[in-house]
């Protein structure tokens, strides 16, 4: 297995829908072109930002096919989230991702019937990863959504027998756990950070890359933040992180995911609304958001 670590900003892409909520895979080429034009090199599809649990297995397969064409056409590497409450579906998705030539797969834990502990989680990940044995596999740790909180440093140790384990997509704000996990990972495993509003703290803790939804429209903000941190200009890095937090707060005020998709629409990429059970903002609320974001002067946004 050959894999390039995710020491970069990886965009967590939205799953596009029509206004009536039906799947809109024909929008994927516009997404890919938009992201590539802003310097993105790698996308993470059908994850939390992609409304994974609100999209059927068949719909995910259709999105995979769309990205299998649009990604390479725009110079983008594609990582597919394949997690599901049904391990069989996860294996089907993993095989499809392999056939599509994606550079990696990832899976969060089942969240209805949950693994009882680290050993159970390792069994789940091994079953999924084995369906695409030559494709790098990332466990996706996001306790806020799965309700599963386990020590990731123990997972890395106990999952060492999974041949294609590449690391963990760490969407967990516990920086102590992150530091412990980085210590275990060494150079063997890759641990991209997944909480955009805490990127600076993660960099100070040892992060070398991240996967995030706000990188869809504000990658320049985070590139400048990373550059400021790298040059030792902590005051500027802190200012940019505060700007990130203010941007996220403004979007989340009317429901983060639905509002983020509406923002993408205003930027020329019609990814449509969020599906139930999530809500969507009114046009007036989006107007207000745009005014707020312009006042914030987010680098490269408008």
Q: Does the active-site annotation cover 169?
A: yes
Q: Does the active-site annotation cover 140?
A: yes
Q: What domains can you pick out in the chain, each with its CATH number?
A: 9-218 (3.20.20.70)
Q: Token pair 């072109």 is at which residue?
A: 33
Q: What confidence tens digit (pLDDT) does each residue in 24-69 have?
A: 999 999 999 999 999 999 999 999 999 999 999 999 999 999 999 9
- Residue 207: what pLDDT? 98
- Residue 1: what pLDDT? 65
Of these residues, 64, 138, 139, 140, which one is catalytic? Answer: 140
Of 2, 52, 11, 64, give the one whose Cα is nearest residue 33.
11
Intervals of the chain under pLDDT 70: 1
- Residue 83: what pLDDT? 97
Of these residues, 169, 215, 222, 261, which one is catalytic? Answer: 169
């Amino acid at each position: 297995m050959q894999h390039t670590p995710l020491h970069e900003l990886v965009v967590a892409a939205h799953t596009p829908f029509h206004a009536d909520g039906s799947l809109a895979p024909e929008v994927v080429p516009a997404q890919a072109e938009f992201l590539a034009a802003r310097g993105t090199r790698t996308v993470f599809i059908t994850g939390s930002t992609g409304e994974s649990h609100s999209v059927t297995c068949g719909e995910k397969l259709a999105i995979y096919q769309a990205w299998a064409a649009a990604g390479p056409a725009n110079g983008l590497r594609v990582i597919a989230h394949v997690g599901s409450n049904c391990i069989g579906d996860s294996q089907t998705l993993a095989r499809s991702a392999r056939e599509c030539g994606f550079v990696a797969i990832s899976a969060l834990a089942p969240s209805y019937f949950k693994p009882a502990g680290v050993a159970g989680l390792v069994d789940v990940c091994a079953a999924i990863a084995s369906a695409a044995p030559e494709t790098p596999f990332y466990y996706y740790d996001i306790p806020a959504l799965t309700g599963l909180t386990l020590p990731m440093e123990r997972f890395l140790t106990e999952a060492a027998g999974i041949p294609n384990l590449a690391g963990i997509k760490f969407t967990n704000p516990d920086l102590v756990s992150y530091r412990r996990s980085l210590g275990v990972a060494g150079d063997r495993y890759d641990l991209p950070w997944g909480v955009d509003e805490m990127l600076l703290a993660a960099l100070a803790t040892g992060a070398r890359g991240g996967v995030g939804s706000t990188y869809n429209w504000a990658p320049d903000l985070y590139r400048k933040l990373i550059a400021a941190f790298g040059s030792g200009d902590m005051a500027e890095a802190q200012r940019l992180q505060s700007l990130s937090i203010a941007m996220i707060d403004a979007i989340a005020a009317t429901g983060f995911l639905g509002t983020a998709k509406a923002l993408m629409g205003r930027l020329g990429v019609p990814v449509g609304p969020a599906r139930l059970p999530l809500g969507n903002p009114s046009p007036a609320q989006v107007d207000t958001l745009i005014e707020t974001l312009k006042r914030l002067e987010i680098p490269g946004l408008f």
